Amino acid sequence: MWKWILGAVVLVVLLIGSGMWYGFRKMSQLASGDSTVTVTIGGAPERVFASLASGDSIGDWMVGGRVRPSRAGQLRTGDTLYVEQRDSTRAQHLSWVVGDVVPNKAFALQLVADTLNMIAVSRRYTVMGQGDSTVIFSTVTSPMMDSVKRAESRGKNSAMMEFASKMMVGAMRMQNQLELKQLKARVEGVPVGNGAAAPVRP
C-alpha cells in the first residue's frame, strides 16, 4: 500500500512540478501559507468563465502535460480532461474530472491517477465580479495526502508524510499561480512566456 501511495505522490508532484523553476526555497515559502491563490483579470465574469471552464480553451492555460478534454464548449459535471505526462520510461496517464459547475461563479476539478482509486488533488475556482474586472479565488487540497497523514499521524513515517504534504501543497500553489497567470494573459490578450500574444477566442 505504501509503495502505491508514495508512487502516486511522486507522480502528482512530477505533474504539478512542470512549472516549478522557482526552486525549493520558493516552494517552501509557498508551503507555509494556505492553499488559496487569487488573481484579478480584466474582463467580465462571463468572459473569464468562458475561458476558465471551456473544453475549447482549457488546454491553452493549463500546464503540466497535454490536456485533452472529453467535450468541446462549456464543461459540465462529470466531463474529463485527459492528461498525458511522459517521463524517461513511459507515459503516465491522469485525469481531471469536472466536479461542480455553477456558470460564471464556480468550477471544480478533481485529479485522479490511473493507478489509484482515490482523488489525488482537488481544485475549486470561485469567480467574482469586481467593477470592470473579475477576481478568481482558487483553492487546492489533496484528499489523498490528508487520508495518509491521518493514517500515519502516530506512526514512524509521520514526519516524512508531513514533509511530503507540505511540499505537495507548495507545488500545487505554484502550479496554480502559473496557470492563473496564463489564464489572465489569455483573457486580456497580453504577451505571455515567449513574448507571443496570448490567443483570445470568443
With vertex at residue 86, the alpha carbon angle to CA 193 and CA 182, rounded to the nearest 5 degrees, is 25
Rg (CA), the chain: 17
pLDDT higher than 90, residue 155: no
In the chain, count of helices (H) and strands (E)?
6, 9
pLDDT higher than 70, residue 32: no
Identify the structural domains of the chain with CATH numbers, from first to last: 2-188 (3.30.530.20)
Question: What mean pLDDT is predicted for residues 121-126?
Answer: 92
Single-letter amino acid, residue 21: W
Per-residue cell: 147: 487520508
pLDDT band at 28 (very low <50, low <70, confident <90, very high): very low
Mean residue pLDDT across the chain: 75
Residue-wise pLDDT for 67-112, tens only, equals 889 989 999 999 999 887 665 565 566 789 999 999 999 999 998 7
Residues in a beta bridge with 130:
133
Per-residue cell: 100: 461542480
Residue among 192, 139, 138, 180 at smallest CA distance from 51: 180
What integer pLDDT is reported at residue 42 of this predicted model? 95
